[in-house]
Every structure is written in C-alpha cells, then in structure tokens.
Amino acid sequence: MTEPQLWTLAVGLLTALTAIVGFSAQTMRAMSKTVTVQMESVRELMAERFSNVDRQFEQVGLQFDQVDRRFDQVDRRLEHLDQRVGRVETRVDDIDRDVQTIAKRIFPKD
C-alpha cells in the first residue's frame, strides 16, 4: 500500500470512528432524556403516594382524637354513676339504720 492510500485509509477510519462516537453521544443523550423523564414520573408517583399516606395519617389522627373524646365522655359518665352509687349506698345505710331503730323500738331487748 502506498502512502496516499494509507492516508486515505486513516482518514476513512477517523471519519468512521467520529461517526460512531457521534452516534454513541446521541444515543447517550436520548437515554439520558428517557431516564430523566422516567425519574420524574417516579418522583411524581412517590409524591402522590406519600401524599396519600399523609392523608391517611391525618385521618387516623382524627379517629384517635374522636376515640379520646369518647373515652373522656365515658369517663365522665362513669364518675357520675359512681357518685350516684355512692348516694344510693348512703341512702341504703340510712334506711338500714332507720329499720334497726324501728326494730329496736318494736322489739326491745329485755
């Protein structure tokens, strides 16, 4: 092979390599854009799911608040009933004393 032929071959090889590198660069840019779009889609999906989880936590928090209020109501009701039971017990004790007093008057001990 002569020197001009070698130069022609070298220029041809460089041209082919430049085309390959250019094509590879275009492919990489296209892949990068595709990955960027997919990552943005994943970010949006995750943001939506986290938003849903946040709403669920808020709902659970509201339900806990409702349960707490209900427990407070039940507790107040139990306190009220306990007071009523105490008054009834006192009244029963009073009646028992009255019955014993009457019984002593009717059936005095000798």
- Is pLDDT of 108 > 90? no
How far is CA 99 from its chain centroid? Answer: 63
As separate numbers, helices (DSSP H) first and strands (DSSP E) second, the chain gives: 1, 0
C-alpha span between 48 and 34 (Å, rounded)? 21
Q: pTM here?
A: 0.50
C-alpha span between 35 and 80 (Å, rounded)? 67
Residue type, 92: V
Supply the mean pLDDT for the chain.
Answer: 93
C-alpha span between 15 and 33 (Å, rounded)? 27
C-alpha span between 63 and 56 (Å, rounded)? 10
- Is pLDDT of 110 > 70? no
Residues with Cβ within 8 Å of residue 1, at least 6 apart in sequence: 9
Q: What is the mean pLDDT of residues 11-26?
A: 89
